[in-house]
Chain A
Amino acid sequence: DGGITQSPKYLFRKEGQNVTLSCEQNLNHDAMYWYRQDPGQGLRLIYYSQIVNDFQKGDIAEGYSVSREKKESFPLTVTSAQKNPTAFYLCASSIGGEGEQYFGPGTRLTVT
């Protein structure tokens, strides 16, 4: 089956630790995205990548980092510099820069 996978579904970390969230797609999409969702709010764009080895900051990139070494993979690292890391993180991909974005199931990160 084609799709986007995110792992793990739930992740718990202590404050001060970096943590990396996985996102893999086998849709052969060029573009990939990371969003953050907080309770009662819409999605906010963290980083996006239109092509391998290239990525751009979104609206709330501070405290996060990404890499895009392979077309199918776009991992997100939540660093200790992120002041409020507890949230639901969603990865998405699209064929090109325009059009529908397909979302993964999300990772719920809790930092205590």
Chain B
Amino acid sequence: GESVGLHLPTLSVQEGDNSIINCAYSNSASDYFIWYKQESGKGPQFIIDIRSNMDKRQGQRVTVLLNKTVKHLSLQIAATQPGDSAVYFCAENGGTSYGKLTFGQGTILTVHP
């Protein structure tokens, strides 16, 4: 999962395995959460989002789980592919309605063929 510090957490998986990336968020007022994928040298791409009135949301091959009690967010990627290799960021809105997102440090996912 994500943590404070200069070294990004890393997750290494084999192609075809399921991946779980964790994120501990800090602001209990946050009611909107979002996961982004960032490939090297590129801008982040949206993966999936979830509001605090839900605890699970599914997309194509991805699922986001939200546990408000312990302020924890996870991203599950099914049947991980080499193209999923990237840095994954979670972000929270701090309960604001004006788009100010606070990003986590990121997790490096490496998928081995």
Chain A interface (Cβ < 8 Å from any Cβ of B): 4, 6, 31, 33, 35, 40-45, 48, 50, 56, 58, 90, 92, 94, 96-106, 108
Cβ B34 vs Cβ A100 within 8 A: yes
A40 to B45: give the CA distance in the assembly, Å. 18
Chain B: minimal CB distance from A53 (Å): 16
A-B contact count (CB 8 A): 69
Interface residues of A, dominant DSSP = strand
Q: List 7 contacting pairs A-B, 8 Å CB cutoff, sorted by A.
A: A40-B8, A42-B89, A45-B100, A96-B99, A97-B98, A97-B99, A105-B42
Residue B7 at the A interface, CB < 8 A? Answer: yes
A102 to B49: give the CA distance in the assembly, Å. 13
A56 to B98: give the CA distance in the assembly, Å. 11
Given known A48-B100, A97-B97, A97-B99, contact A42–B105 (CB-CB < 8 A): yes
Chain A: minimal CB distance from B94 (Å): 11
Cβ B46 vs Cβ A100 within 8 A: yes
Cβ A43 vs Cβ B89 within 8 A: yes
A90 to B38: give the CA distance in the assembly, Å. 12
| The residue from A98, A103, A106 contacting B99, defined by CB atoms under 8 A apart | A98
